Structure 1
Amino acid sequence: MTRYLLLVLLCCWSWSYQAHGANDSNFTMPKLPANVRYFHDVPIGQVGNVQLYIDIAVPAQALATPAPAIVAIHGGGWRKGHKNKFASKIVNFAKRGYVAASLMYRLAPDHPFPAAVEDVKVGVRFLKAHAEQYGVNPNQIIALGSSAGGHLAAMLGATGNDDSFSTHGLWDDVDSSVMLAVTFSGPNAEFDSQFADQWSSITKFLGGKASSRPDIAKAAMPISYLDANDPPFFVVHGNADNIVPVSMGRTFVEGLKSAGVEHRYIEIEGGTHKLKQSAPQAQKQAYQQAWQMIEEVIAAQEE
């Protein structure tokens, strides 16, 4: 069976599954260009009583040559949000020639740390395990997220060589490393601060106040795992962030420097947590620079 025929069959299966998917959350299929295929609610596997799903958008050119992949991770304070939010976004990524996926993860407080980290890592492993099926280059996966999604993208970057989160028994013969992590407004450090103790999102994510569980607080921070073997990071934070203090971004960048990890940091003057509202032009420029770094990292690997 040719790869093209396999992809057509998968596409038909995906549309059939969409009609019966248990994870729709008011899903609306985005408008698809002729050269993009969309797979909605592809089942990854069962974790406890939760079925994990992934959405994948595939560009036609991935049929001929495996393409880099972008995994997008939604925010929402680890407590809310849905992978379906990124349906249009991953279609736009596919239009640029990337395989793109939106990852589901279990939400706090019902599923505190490390559940969300385990789930995004198994999403990456699933994509790598099915690389040929979806036309993915398994060595060229980029993690991208904002807010809590930025934290999880940073965890993917920082824990690629750490096996402590491979506890599902799902695709655990495949590694979850990524080649670049892009994190906007991410709470990537300072879970041990007084502020973190007062922030309900972190408290519910950790399953209690950080001060009462310092080991868990440390284990939940991307900064705790940084070392010289980590992939590059692209970090963006607004200096007027009213939800995730800019100090969390600055401290994380200092950690990147200390560990000798390649990175670029953009601090947006006057940017609040919602950069699109507070600094739309600066946010747009930051995304343009993120794309530039993505392309540079891919080109460097291919040399």
Structure 2
Amino acid sequence: MGLVISLVRLTWAVSYAAFSLTSFIVTGFAILGERTPNRVANVVLSLTSNQYSEFPLIMFFLDLLFQSWLSVTGTFYVSPMARFFSYVNVITAAGTLYLFKRSLECQVVVENFLGEISKENKTKFKLPGVTSPKFWKQFMNPFHWPRNFTLNENIPYWTSKEQMYAMNTDGWESVLEMAVDVYRPDNVEGGHDRPVLMYIHGGGWTSGSKKSIGPLVTEMIAQNWVVVAVNHRLKTKDGYPTQLIDCKRALRWIREEVQTFGGDPHNVVVTGDSSGGQLAAMLALTPNDPAYQHGFEKVDTSVQGCLVQSAVLDLVDANDYRAANGRERFIREVALRPGFPESAERDLDTCPVETARDFVKEFRKKSTASINYLEIPGGHHCFEMYSSPRGWYTTIATAEWLNHNFNQPAASENKIARVHELVEWWHENN
């Protein structure tokens, strides 16, 4: 019996050592944000660092719970290894508390941003902090979803000709990817002309799903926006820009059909994360470009606004901001081109903030259109997809920006009645 107890304690001690060492390393990466020369390592570190960076208190209490269990089972008293790593965890605990403090710094940044974009109405924004019950209510419910909405899933946006070409080229599974999900708030009806948020998912152009939506999408549904989440083909023999062309086809569908769901087809804001942010930016910057809409050149593919988050904004990376191979991967695996052996090793999955700064600078030089830029301190790649304090502060800022610029007055009753007739006709014929 004594041998069994010793083996159990040893198992707990080894598990604690592995947990402590992993926590120590990942906390360090979460604080420093260093990138490695290996793309796979960068992806893993990005995912794990986000857990510590966005939910540091949860990681802190998990460690505390583990230590309490080792004390109760007597493991600390018989295992020098467990005692050693308990000291290591003191450093880790200090790091997680620092990460929590840094996440709160986002509050001031967001308040300043909101103050800047609303100078004309002199609104002073004060976001909930650690002394607010609302802050802790949100923190304790990170998987919040609005309750009153209707989801219309997997609506295809292809034409019959496009369907046959995609099927013959890439197979049926690829055809099924050419679809959208529509999130319609229950108090929004056809003809209400609510703003439309067109959301494009991330995933390096070759993975991901329209089901992977973050707090911004749920917040805009709660604020009575009609959200259209877009899938594009992930692996196609034609390569990039097939993904961009598919997104333009989805926009064509929005122009033709979204009014029946209560959306305004002439008030569309496109948004996306990571590679979805790159596609959103390209869609916004190439309106009505026949090179990207073969077969539907006369369709208006302009949008009223564009919001990109953690976006890939520089595929060339002329300033060598990235550490690992990304450009060559894009050429060979996404664009499906032969590529260049002399291409520098650069990463596309950890998107350096410097590329966003350069993009904004160049945009302001070459365009008279307005652009707002919000830089969030301490956020890792795609942190905005997490329901964390930093993620929700960012969501509040972007939601306010969207409403400030694109939320139009409700439509007239006559127009609503006309669209009701159209909706009834559509249901009778489908």
TM-score (norm 1): 0.69
Give the equivalent residue in structure 2 for 1:270.
378
Give the equivalent residue in structure 2 for 1:253.
360
For residues 269 and 85 of structure 1, do their structure 2 counterparts lie closer, same or farther at Cα, with a shift above 3 Å needed? Answer: closer
TM-superposed deviation, 1:180? 1.0
Note the alpha carbon deviations across 1:11-33, whole angstroms, 9 max, x for none. xxxxxxxxxxxxxxxxxxx9884
Give the equivalent residue in structure 2 for 1:80.
207
Q: Whose strand proportion is higher, 1 or 2?
A: 1
Do structure 1's residue 186 and structure 2's residue 311 form an aligned pair? Answer: yes
1:48 maps to amino acid: A
Do structure 1's residue 37 and structure 2's residue 150 form an aligned pair? Answer: yes
Note the alpha carbon deviations across 1:51-70, whole angstroms, 9 max, x for none. 21111111232335111111
TM-superposed deviation, 1:133? 2.1
SS in 1 for 2:182: strand
- What are the residue-to-residue correspondences of 1:101-250 with 2, within 5 Å? 101-108=228-235, 110-167=237-294, 169=295, 172-191=297-316, 193=318, 195=322, 198-199=325-326, 201-203=329-331, 204-208=333-337, 243-250=350-357
- 2: CA distance between counterparts of 1:111 and 1:120? 15
8 Å Cα contact 1:44/1:123 also seen in 2: yes
For residues 113 and 123 of structure 1, do their structure 2 counterparts lie closer, same or farther at Cα, with a shift above 3 Å needed? Answer: same
Give the equivalent residue in structure 1 for 2:137.
none
8 Å Cα contact 1:190/1:196 also seen in 2: no
For residues 155 and 292 of structure 1, do their structure 2 counterparts lie closer, same or farther at Cα, with a shift above 3 Å needed? Answer: same
Give the equivalent residue in structure 2 for 1:57.
183
TM-superposed deviation, 1:138? 1.2
1:202 maps to amino acid: F
- 2: CA distance between counterparts of 1:265 and 1:103? 24
Note the alpha carbon deviations across 1:107-130, whole angstroms, 9 max, x for none. 246452111100111111101111
For residues 55 and 172 of structure 1, do their structure 2 counterparts lie closer, same or farther at Cα, with a shift above 3 Å needed? Answer: farther
- 2: CA distance between counterparts of 1:43 and 1:113? 20
For residues 114 and 294 of structure 1, do their structure 2 counterparts lie closer, same or farther at Cα, with a shift above 3 Å needed? Answer: same
Structure 1 unaligned regions, length at least 5: 1-29, 215-240
- 1: CA distance between counterparts of 2:399 and 2:405? 10
Give the equivalent residue in structure 1 for 2:47.
none
1:82 maps to amino acid: S
1:72 maps to amino acid: Y
TM-superposed deviation, 1:154? 0.9
Note the alpha carbon deviations across 1:229-254, whole angstroms, 9 max, x for none. xxxxxxxxxxxx97112222122111
For residues 201 and 268 of structure 1, do their structure 2 counterparts lie closer, same or farther at Cα, with a shift above 3 Å needed? Answer: farther
8 Å Cα contact 1:157/1:181 also seen in 2: yes
SS in 2 for 1:293: helix
Structure 2 unaligned regions, length at least 5: 1-143, 168-173, 411-430
8 Å Cα contact 1:57/1:91 also seen in 2: no
RMSD across aligned C-alpha pairs, in angstroms? 3.4
Which protein is bigger by CA-based radius of gyration? 2
8 Å Cα contact 1:70/1:143 also seen in 2: yes
Q: Whose helix proportion is higher, 1 or 2?
A: 2
Indicate the larger mover: 190-199 or 147-156.
Answer: 190-199
8 Å Cα contact 2:215/2:395 also seen in 1: no
Note the alpha carbon deviations across 1:134-191, whole angstroms, 9 max, x for none. 2221111111111011111111221124232112x3x654212111111111111242
Q: Please, which of 387, 393, 402 is the counterpart of residue 294 of structure 1?
A: 402
Count of aligned pairs: 244
For residues 293 and 148 of structure 1, do their structure 2 counterparts lie closer, same or farther at Cα, with a shift above 3 Å needed? Answer: same
TM-superposed deviation, 1:287? 2.1
8 Å Cα contact 2:202/2:274 also seen in 1: yes
For residues 258 and 102 of structure 1, do their structure 2 counterparts lie closer, same or farther at Cα, with a shift above 3 Å needed? Answer: same
1:43 maps to amino acid: P
TM-score (norm 2): 0.50
**Higher RCO (Cα < 8 Å, 6 or more apart):** 2
Give the equivalent residue in structure 2 for 1:48.
166
For residues 201 and 62 of structure 1, do their structure 2 counterparts lie closer, same or farther at Cα, with a shift above 3 Å needed? Answer: farther
2:404 maps to amino acid: E
TM-superposed deviation, 1:73? 0.9
SS in 2 for 1:295: helix
